[in-house]
Amino acid sequence: MHIILLAVQSLDGFITQHDLPGAGFASAEDQAHFKEALRTCDCSVMGAETYRTSRDVIRSNLTAARLRIVITRAPERHAADGVPGALEFTAAEPEAVAADLRGRGLRRCALLGGGAINAAFVAGNLVDELWLTIEPRLFGGGTPLLREAVDARLTLRSCHPLNPDTLLLKYAFRRD
């Protein structure tokens, strides 16, 4: 199974603008790209805070074509939201989550943040690609792309503009 970390950030690496939840700073072109990229995935993984921020949108767009996994310390608290095969909650570790998705025959997973979940998957060497939208902003604070220290090397696969000021960079994680 292929895991793609999908994120939009400021030039200085923040996926939120200061304390504002969500990616309201993302350009319309990034939002279109994000939806398009998600459509190519048969599953996605996110943290509980990311879920809470987008809960209404997620719940009104549930489909059996893409399983959403929310990693949370308290899956039982979200039991009422669960829809087996479409929206599931788990307290499992990243390795176990990835193994479970692989075991279900899923092939392409979008990793959607936040910073703690992103870092745990990167630290576990579980991520194959990074698709990073860089908006022309500097925040100097907010939720970081990765909330814990890692040391990952990547290879640039492509760089293309989503609009005159916004770049979409695609990288592969190096395994050497």
Q: Is 125 in the site for a second copy (CB under 8 A)?
A: no
Least distance from C-beta 163 to a second copy, angstroms?
9
Q: Are 98 and 81 in contact (CB under 8 A)?
A: no
24 or 105: whose CB is closer to a second copy? 24
Q: Is 153 in the site for a second copy (CB under 8 A)?
A: yes
β partners of residue 3: 109
With a CB cutoff of 8 Å and minimum separation 6, the contacts of 78 are 48, 51, 70, 72, 89
Q: Is 28 in the site for a second copy (CB under 8 A)?
A: no
Q: Is 155 in the site for a second copy (CB under 8 A)?
A: yes
79 or 149: whose CB is closer to a second copy? 149
CA 113 to chain centre: 4
Among 3, 48, 69, 146, which residue interacts with a second copy (rule: CB under 8 A)?
146
Q: Is 151 in the site for a second copy (CB under 8 A)?
A: yes
The span of 33-41, 63-71, 90-98, 163-171 binding a second copy (CB under 8 A) equals 163-171
Q: Are 109 and 43 in contact (CB under 8 A)?
A: yes
| Cα–Cα distance for residue pair 96/130, rounded to 1 Å | 21
Q: Are 22 and 8 in contact (CB under 8 A)?
A: no
| Cα–Cα distance for residue pair 33/168, rounded to 1 Å | 9
3 or 106: whose CB is closer to a second copy? 3
Tokens 């599931």 sit on residue: 88
Residues that bind a second copy (CB under 8 A): 9-14, 17-18, 119, 122, 130, 132, 134, 136-141, 144-156, 159, 161, 164-167, 169, 171
